[in-house]
Amino acid sequence: MAKILCILSAIVFVVKTDDVSEFNATIPAVNMTLNSTVNRTIAFKTPVFSLFSTTTTANKPVLGKKNMRKKNADDKRIDQDEDGKHETKNGTADAKKEPDCPPASTPSSPGPPASTPSTPGPPASIPSSPGPPASMMALPDPPCVVTSPDCPPLGLKSLRVDDSQFQASSYLRMGLGPHRARLNIQSGIEDGDMYDGAWCAKYEDQHQWLQVDALRPTLFTGVILQGRNSIWSWDWVETYKVQLSNDSETWKTCMNGTEEAVFVGSRNEPETPYLALFPQPAVARWIRINPQTWYWNGTICLRAEVLGCPLPDPDNVWQHFSEKLSGSKDNLDFRHHNYKEMRKLMKAVNEECPRITRIYTIGKSYTGLKLYVMEISDNPGKHELGEPEFRYVAGMHGNEVVGRELVLNLMQYICREFRRGNPRIVRLVTTTRIHLLPSMNPDGYETAFEKGSELAGWALGRYSYEWVDMNHNFPDLNNIMWDAKENDTDMVKTANHYIPIPEYYTKEDAFVTPETRAVISWMQDIPFVLSANLHGGELVVTYPFDCTRDWAPQENTPTADDSFFRWLATVYASTNLVMANPDRRICHSEDFQQHNNIINGGAWHTVPGSMNDFSYMHTNCFEVTVELSCDKFPHASELPTEWENNKESLLVYMEQVHRGIKGVVRDKMTKKGIADAIVKVEDLDHDIRSAADGDYWRLLNPGEYKVTVWAEGYFPSMRRCNVGTEARPTICDFILIKTPRQRMNEILAKGGRLPQDLQLKLRALRLRKLRASTKAINQRRKHSRKARGTRFARAPRPLTPLA
Ligand SMILES: [Zn+2]
């Protein structure tokens, strides 16, 4: 962690007008990579600057119209019109009169020309403010202050900073208002709506500013800048200054020695975030970013994050109380875990709870990182008759990291609560076989992790090492099924479930990632009943189908189980503390609250080859996608809150695996379970099949159902099964009687293998071929890796993706 120095004596909160420290720095302005996971121990030798008194009179923010006019009527030099435009009249010499403010005529390169007033505010000599407000005067010296630049982000990106805390000198229009100046915020498809991809100033001059109110004294240490997100226009800020204030009226420019510091922002393109650390951290409540130069063919637009350590605010008696409420009471390992740390954590959980956990791998990533799964069950390693299997898959998009950490938290939590005898957890573990895959795309994660939570941007690490989007990489079975139904061809081969993988997909040269191949094998090996695919970058739960019919870009495309999928999505969305909050702001540009935070995947945007659709069409498993948070890669300090937001949802969603009907399909004579028996529910055009021991699970909403079961060589059997509202399944066992023909066949075969139906044969054959091609690819890769060492060439980068 950051190096902490107590510098009690260096912090001065009570400052008289004639007793102002110079806002000097001994370290030049730097632009460097912030890796939130790497400890940096830069300690500042110079004392932390705390307050300044009367300096410049601020320009009033444009959002508060009452504040548009200056407080002091005697200010004849500077005026600010309603659009926040400044006019300077005879004000250049005034800086000399102000001892606190450095001369404006010595801008550092590449700053503005010397004749331009360097601060956006009026000249410093106007004593418009009587000094720090009373609240600041009353501040005691804090006992200990973090002086390292490892201060966390204020939360512009994570939405911890509210829209009302932003202000600006001017803005182009509402959709480009100051509240849109959040790092990584995404615009809608069209420019010009309410949800554009940055704050953009109305005017192109050096008096424009974006202001953030930290709401409390804060040790500001740096700013991260990014350009505008838009597919239509390119805009970014290349250099900028920073001003700080304790009252939003008097401002002081961040200095680099005797000159005003000019920081370098975006370079050449708008998406990469760039960090600038201040030469000297400073304490204030408000911070302004004041653009100086910008892309020549664009205008002043930026997205930002501000780094700062919150300091105690004695004026706020509720602060201590409210801070205690945030975070989590669960003592879990709340930090970002890279591959090695993840492995270590899983091992520790396994050692802590050896009786109920088991770690296994399902394959390897392109670079050879293992895809670890934590199994949690009262009988790890075994499928128990009648016990449903559940899975969480996280990190399919490597930069959407919340799911990964939540799954790691979840395994810790279940282990500890089971040991403590928490009845809910004991019941869950003894009645369910749980599989947790925290990282489906470990290669992508490591790429994002290297940059860290603030500098990874929006897309870095999303894809596999070969730049494949894994959520488009599963075989598209939807169109195979729809085409077959439309053409009314061989309906036996193209039933409503267990659609076989097409042959092209099983070939060695098929563009299928090793991670996708591993997950497909896993899905076939284990009779999963329910799953969720954890993503990030939005707050919504989506349910199949993800792929629309007839290639529509957006169209509601329900499955036969639409009502149960809606239930599943609702279960998660209604218990997630952020989604359930009706006052939350939208993440980027889409308002999912109007749909109660759930949406059909196709109704959002079409995704052919998604894991959800594949799971539903090729196996018995129902799967939804959870978009867990607006911020794909939140700072580690947000993780306890993310856990609290999702804890109940993660548990209650798992419990849904115990809904509907379940039972065992047996042979009447032998009493043995019958594998691959088809379970059909009347009026639902999606069947499921029994597992190897004859047990089956059919997720259903409450109601009365007519259920028919048949298997090859048996007479069908029908019975009515009632599903109640309680969260437990109705047991509906079936006994099947062999047909005389089947008996005869068996006698003739003299115990030979029973012929399987065409579909099953095809299914098994394709899986064998897929595995064979995977093996061949892995061997080739292993040899070439040995030959080339560990370096890999990257494929070209695709376009910026959706969440
Ligand atoms: Zn995603």
Q: How far is the CA of 803 from the centre of ligand 1 (A)?
A: 5
Q: How far is the CA of 471 from the centre of ligand 1 (A)?
A: 8
Residue 632 sits in the same domain as residue 742: no
Q: What residues are annotated to the active site?
A: 627
Residue 475 pLDDT greater than 60, yes or no: yes
**What is the share, in percent, of the chain residues with pLDDT greater than 90?**
67
pLDDT tens per residue, range 208-232: 999 999 999 999 999 999 999 998 8
CATH code for position 665: 2.60.40.1120
- Band of the pLDDT at 104, cuts 50, 70, 90? very low
Better-predicted residue by pLDDT, 626 or 82? 626
Would you say residue 350 lies in a domain?
yes
Domain boundary among 703, 730, 749: 749
Domain boundary among 658, 678, 700: 658
Q: How far is the CA of 670 from the centre of ligand 1 (A)?
A: 48
Residue 82 pLDDT greater than 70, yes or no: no
> Residue 614: which residues within 8 A CB-CB, separation 6 or more?
474, 475, 477, 520, 523
Residue 431 sits in the same domain as residue 368: yes
Instruction: Characterize the bridge pairing of strands 166-168 and 259-260.
Output: unpaired
Q: What domain range includes position 41?
A: 8-22+34-129+147-325
Residue 77 sits in the same domain as residue 169: yes
Domain boundary among 603, 627, 658: 658
Confirm if 126 and 19 have CB atoms less than 8 A apart: no
Would you say residue 591 lies in a domain?
yes
Q: What is the DSSP string of 565-608?
A: HHHHHHHHHHHSTTTT-TTPPPSSS--GGGGTTEEEHHHH---T
CATH code for position 343: 3.40.630.10
Would you say residue 800 lies in a domain?
no
pLDDT tens per residue, range 19-32: 223 223 322 333 33
- Closest to 342 in 3D by CA, of 414, 438, 256, 426: 438
Domain count, the chain: 3
pLDDT tens per residue, range 693-750: 999 999 999 999 999 999 999 999 999 999 999 889 999 999 999 998 888 788 777 6
- Across 71-80, 133-142, 168-177, which has the greatest mean pLDDT? 168-177
Task: Kindly state the average pLDDT of the residues 278-298.
Answer: 96
Residue 654 sits in the same domain as residue 667: no
Residue 61 pLDDT greater than 70, yes or no: no
Task: Kindly state the average pLDDT of the residues 195-200.
Answer: 95
Residue 300 sits in the same domain as residue 368: no
What pLDDT score was predicted for residue 758? 65
Would you say residue 643 lies in a domain?
yes
Residue 497 sits in the same domain as residue 539: yes
Residue 103 sits in the same domain as residue 247: yes
What pLDDT score was predicted for residue 412? 98
Q: Which of 48-52, 129-133, 528-532, 663-667 has the lowest mean pLDDT?
A: 129-133
Would you say residue 184 lies in a domain?
yes
Helix axis angle for 758-788 and 514-525, nearest 10°, is: 140
Over the chain, what is the mean pLDDT?
A: 81
Would you say residue 310 lies in a domain?
yes
Q: Which of 477-481, 596-600, 786-790 has the lowest mean pLDDT?
A: 786-790
What residues have a C-beta under 5 A from ligand 1, the ion? 397, 400, 535
d(CA 746, CA 94): 104
pLDDT tens per residue, range 335-371: 999 999 999 999 999 999 999 999 999 999 999 999 9
| Token pair for 505 | 């997909």
Residue 513 sits in the same domain as residue 578: yes
Residue 238 sits in the same domain as residue 183: yes
Would you say residue 587 lies in a domain?
yes
CATH code for position 237: 2.60.120.260
H-only helix segments in 110-258: 134-137
Residue 82 sits in the same domain as residue 202: yes
Residue 614 sits in the same domain as residue 745: no
Residue 797's Cβ-count burial label (10 Å; 0-12, 13-18, 19+) is exposed
Q: How far is the CA of 60 from the centre of ligand 1 (A)?
A: 41
Would you say residue 422 lies in a domain?
yes
Residue 420's Cβ-count burial label (10 Å; 0-12, 13-18, 19+) is exposed
Residue 368 sits in the same domain as residue 474: yes
Q: How far is the CA of 400 from the centre of ligand 1 (A)?
A: 6
d(CA 336, CA 338): 7
Q: How far is the CA of 180 from the centre of ligand 1 (A)?
A: 22
SS3 483: helix
